[in-house]
Copies of this chain bind each other. A is one copy, B any other.
Amino acid sequence: MSFCPNCGQPLTRKIPPGDHLLRYVCTACGTIHYQNPRIIAGCVIETEGKLLLCKRAIEPRLGYWTHPAGFMENGESVAQGAAREAMEEALAKVKIGSLLSIVNVLHAHQVHITYRATLAEPGYGVGVESLETRLYDEAEIPWQDIAFLSVRFALQRYLEDRRLGVERMHGQDIDWQHGKLVTTER
């Protein structure tokens, strides 16, 4: 971020009066431009006892597996965003269920919010952002080729809860500390 979205003049970074963090502030009109974390809305879809996963056709982590998930859009709820991603990535019309996990990815300025889901209509396919989609039995899940730590966390907790017959909400923080990624369950 280099120029003011309001007036087009150069930005500087400074701590505004009464604030405690460096912000982008316009050198001409004085507008403060805040930056905030973005929500990744997703869902773990179960049908016939199997989980529907997508092989990513885009970077980052092209070729790795994930449940449908992506940036939440203005004008939708988190659950609507999760259902939209299921349609876009797996051509799946889903019914969103209970909240499964909230994962704070601190270094990426993202919050990954994932719901349980089932197919509202039979059938699924391969969306433009996927190379392949597939139903996986628990024993077949490609744990070595999962795209993101937050996806691994959601899938693991989903399966543990299913074994126990419960639907809990799980929290995790992911951050770089001393040169490595550290995960903390909350």
Contacts and interface: CB of A to CB of B under 8 A. Distances in A.
Q: How many copies does the complex hold?
A: 2
Contacts of A107: 75
Contacts of A169: 99, 169
Contacts of A34: 71
Contacts of A186: 77, 79
Contact of A7 (B3, B106, B113): B3
Contact of A18 (B71, B72, B128, B173): B128
Chain A's interface: helix, strand, loop or mixed, by majority?
loop
Given A8-B9, A99-B102, A102-B78, A36 B3 contact: no
A111 B102 CA distance: 13
A144 interface: no
Interface string A1-37: 1111111111100000010010000000000011111
Nearest to A1: B5
Nearest to A76: B106
15 contacts: A3-B7, A3-B8, A8-B9, A18-B128, A36-B71, A36-B73, A37-B74, A39-B39, A72-B111, A78-B102, A78-B104, A78-B111, A79-B171, A99-B169, A99-B171
